[in-house]
């Protein structure tokens, strides 16, 4: 279901700085989950992911082929992107990783653990999510020189807006 809303344009969405810098050892995964199958949408997540991708290319100088942009990612697509990063780290040395996520997060109240919610996940069932500790462990276990994570998610169980 597509939600119609007024366009929101932020100053950071326009006039993105352009640099001559080339970042050929940086690899990026951008997950932008806006349109969910069983819970409310996350307004502007797709826009935010696209704008971040532009910043990666124009400002940070990361080649387009080294950026994986996945709009409305399923659980398996998120896992596949983490695996892609693991393969990159195994194949190349001196690699830097950027992982960006915009979308719903869900808490497990009993264990006080947080999960990313894929678009095919169920908000009331944390087993359909991607455990945040597992993501951090996978990214932290890579042989990357540097790992940077941008997380735009609420884990309170409330809506983003």
The pLDDT of residue 95: 96
C-alpha triplet 11, 12, 15: angle, nearest 5°: 85
- Nearest alpha carbon to residue 64 among 52, 53, 51: 53
The pLDDT of residue 7: 55
Q: Are 116 and 73 in contact (CB under 8 A)?
A: no
CA trace torsion 108, 110, 112, 114 (10° rounding): -10
CA trace torsion 51, 75, 67, 87 (10° rounding): 160
Average predicted confidence (pLDDT) for the chain: 90
- What distances in angstroms separate CA 38 from CA 9, 53, 120, 125, 140, one per listed residue? 27, 27, 7, 11, 31
Task: Report, as an integer, the average pLDDT of 84-92.
Answer: 96
CA trace torsion 100, 139, 97, 73 (10° rounding): -40
| Dihedral angle sign, alpha carbons of residues 81, 86, 92, 96 | positive
| Alpha-carbon gap, residue 63 to 58, rounded angstroms | 9
Task: Say yes or no to pLDDT of 158 above 50.
Answer: no
Task: Say yes or no to pLDDT of 5 above 70.
Answer: no
Percentage of residues in the chain with pLDDT exceeding 90? 80
The pLDDT of residue 17: 87
Task: Report, as an integer, the average pLDDT of 69-91.
Answer: 97
Q: Are 127 and 115 in contact (CB under 8 A)?
A: no
The pLDDT of residue 161: 45
Task: Say yes or no to pLDDT of 117 above 50.
Answer: yes
Q: Are 69 and 35 in contact (CB under 8 A)?
A: no
Which pair of tokens denotes residue 30?
């951008």
Tens digit of each residue's pLDDT (9 = 90 or more) over 33-75: 999 999 999 999 999 999 999 999 999 999 999 999 999 999 9
């Amino acid at each position: 279901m597509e939600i119609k809303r007024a366009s929101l344009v932020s100053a950071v969405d326009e006039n993105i700085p352009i640099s001559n810098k080339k970042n050929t050892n940086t690899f990026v995964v951008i997950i932008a989950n806006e349109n969910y199958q069983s819970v409310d949408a996350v307004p502007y997540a797709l826009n935010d992911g696209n704008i971040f991708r532009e910043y990666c290319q124009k400002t940070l100088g990361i080649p387009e082929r080294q950026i994986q942009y996945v709009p409305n990612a399923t659980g398996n697509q998120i896992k596949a992107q983490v695996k892609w990063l693991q393969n990159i780290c195994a194949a190349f040395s001196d690699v830097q990783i950027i992982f960006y996520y915009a979308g719903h997060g869900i808490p497990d109240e009993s264990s006080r653990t947080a999960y990313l919610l894929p678009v095919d996940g169920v908000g009331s069932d944390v087993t359909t999510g991607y455990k945040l500790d597992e993501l951090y462990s996978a990214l932290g276990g890579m042989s990357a020189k540097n790992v940077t994570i941008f997380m735009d998610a609420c884990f309170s169980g409330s809506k983003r807006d």
